[in-house]
Amino acid sequence: MPELPEVEVVCRGLRPFLIGHTVNAIHWSGKKLRHPVQMEAMQQAVINRKITTIERRAKFLQISLSSGAMLIIHLGMTGNLGIFPPSTRHAKHDHVWWSLDNGTELRYNDSRRFGSIRLLTPEEVANREETIFKTAGPEPFSDQFSARYLHALAKGKSLAVKLFIMTNQNVAGIGNIYANESLFAAGIRPTRKVQTLTLKEWDRLVTEVRRVLGYAIECGGSTISDFLNASQQRGYFQINFKVYGRAGETCIVCSDKIEKQTIGGRASYFCSKCQK
């Protein structure tokens, strides 16, 4: 599943092709996604409207239109948004595509169809933080995401720190890959109960979460299987994995073996010598 860096990479990649351009037509394969495709409403709100901004919130893309409406897109497990010339042959799992006035097409492809495309009215756009994003915590790069915030939130809780930072209500957008990598970088074992972490440890973790996510974005995200950016290129952060997917391999810091453990149903990777 695309995590925060991958969605941010797509967001940045789409901006030069979409902002300031008008949608001339919308096409749909007729197949259902995670939520029903609001085709009729989308045609009314989107066609002949200019795209004004493209932003990311958590793992969602927000495409604003001159009509005041907004498209909220979640890539699910295998979703992909790419820019193509109209002459390019459509792929098997292209489900929704928008024709633009600059002679390109924005195509949404999703083999497993767990992603979603939702249309918000101007009124719904104004209230989206209280509705769609009601359970989304602060962004990792925001001032609200701080050691003091996490320390206070964790008080009296026995949840494993890895599950804690992967909980969307606590912090938005951190998935399994980047939770593993950030905890290794911070020297904190993923099984640690959050109530045992000191303010200093939380500060170290906040720093490393931001550094790891930031570098992953610079690398174009991680392509484990399906992920491609808006120009259909692979990310390469996966070549920098220190622990994720490296069970049984040598730790790059201490030469001990990387261990694997299931925490909350998710594969977790760590070095028991480097992470305490």
Q: What is the CATH number of the domain that holds 69?
A: 3.20.190.10
Same domain as 175, residue 90: no
Residues with a catalytic annotation lie at 2-3, 59, 266
Average pLDDT on 205-215 reads 99
Within-domain flag for 139: no
Average pLDDT on 91-116 reads 96
Same domain as 122, residue 38: yes
- In angstroms, the Cα distances linking 208 to 23, 148, 185, 195, 219 are 40, 15, 6, 19, 16
Residue 226 pLDDT > 90? no
Within-domain flag for 85: yes
Residue 1 pLDDT > 90? no
Same domain as 188, residue 122: no
Same domain as 183, residue 117: no
| Whether 210 contacts 162, CB under 8 Å | no
Within-domain flag for 141: no
Sign (positive or negative) of CA dihedral 128, 207, 221, 103:
positive
Within-domain flag for 136: no
Same domain as 163, residue 119: no
Last residue of a domain, one of 100, 130, 160: 130
Confidence of residue 273 (pLDDT cuts 50, 70, 90): very high
Residue 35 pLDDT > 90? no
% residues pLDDT > 70 (the chain): 100
Looking at every residue in the chain, the average pLDDT score rounds to 97
What SS3 class is residue 99? Answer: strand
CA distance linking residue 196 with residue 179, whole number of Å:
18
**Residue reference for tokens 């925060």:** 4
Same domain as 123, residue 28: yes
Number of domains the chain is built from = 2
CA distance linking residue 154 with residue 131, whole number of Å:
25
Sign (positive or negative) of CA dihedral 31, 221, 103, 41:
positive
Confidence of residue 36 (pLDDT cuts 50, 70, 90): confident
Confidence of residue 208 (pLDDT cuts 50, 70, 90): very high
Last residue of a domain, one of 78, 96, 130: 130
| Whether 240 contacts 215, CB under 8 Å | yes
Closest CA to 231 of 239, 240, 241, 221: 221
Number of H helices and E strands in the chain, helices first, is 7, 10
CA distance linking residue 86 with residue 107, whole number of Å:
10
Last residue of a domain, one of 98, 130, 162: 130
Within-domain flag for 137: no
Look up the domain containing 23 and give its range: 4-130
Within-domain flag for 140: no
One DSSP character per residue, 243-273 reads: STT-TTSBPTTT-PBPEEEEETTEEEEE-TT
| Whether 73 contacts 38, CB under 8 Å | no
Same domain as 168, residue 101: no
Within-domain flag for 259: yes
Same domain as 75, residue 49: yes
Same domain as 101, residue 172: no
Sign (positive or negative) of CA dihedral 143, 201, 207, 74:
negative
Same domain as 93, residue 21: yes
Which residues pair with residue 250 across a beta bridge? 257
In the sheet that 94-100 helps form, which strands lie side by side, from edge to edge?
A: 23-28, 94-100, 105-110, 79-84
| Whether 72 contacts 120, CB under 8 Å | yes
Within-domain flag for 135: no
Q: What is the CATH number of the domain that holds 228?
A: 1.10.8.50
One DSSP character per residue, 150-185 reads: HHHHHTT---BHHHHHH-TTTSSS--HHHHHHHHHH
Average pLDDT on 47-52 reads 98
Same domain as 202, residue 105: no
Q: Tell me the pTM.
A: 0.95
Sign (positive or negative) of CA dihedral 261, 264, 265, 266:
negative
Same domain as 206, residue 122: no
